[in-house]
Amino acid sequence: MLNQEVDAVEAVRSFWEKVRHAGEMITRLRDEKRELQGHVESIDRELQSLRIELRDKEQELKRLRAEHTQVLNSNGHEFFSGEEREAIKTRIRELLAKINSHL
């Protein structure tokens, strides 16, 4: 009978040790899960930021391509509007007049 009681106590002790070990493992896994969720949130924020940056760069690239196409199509002619051309001519005449007045 004493052997049976000792065996029963050992079985309970073994079971209790397994329960305690399982509890510690559950606690470690929960902590690890919390840490990994933090990493995932951080990566998601970085991904969102990079997507916004990529969208901005794509818009800038689209604008620059359109501008480049416009420059190529103008082929040096009509690069400035008529109004801009007249303003530049007027400014050049004014500068030439200043230069001539100092000579």
Q: Is the pLDDT of residue 76 over 60?
A: no
Task: Between 5 and 27, name the one with better pLDDT.
Answer: 27
Q: Is the pLDDT of residue 80 over 80?
A: no
Go through 56-93 and write b for each residue having 16 or more CB atoms within 10 A of its CB, e for each that does not. eeeeeeeeeeeeeeeeeeeeeeeeeeeeeeeeeeeeee
Q: Give residue-wise pLDDT tens across range 53-66.
A: 999 999 999 999 88
Token output for 40 = 């995932």
* pLDDT the model gives residue 84: 83
Query: For 61-88, what is the mean pLDDT?
Result: 79
97 near 89, Cβ under 8 Å? no
Structural domain including 95 reads 2-102
Task: Between 10 and 100, name the one with better pLDDT.
Answer: 10
Token output for 70 = 């416009």
Average pLDDT, the chain: 88
- Number of independent structural domains in the chain: 1
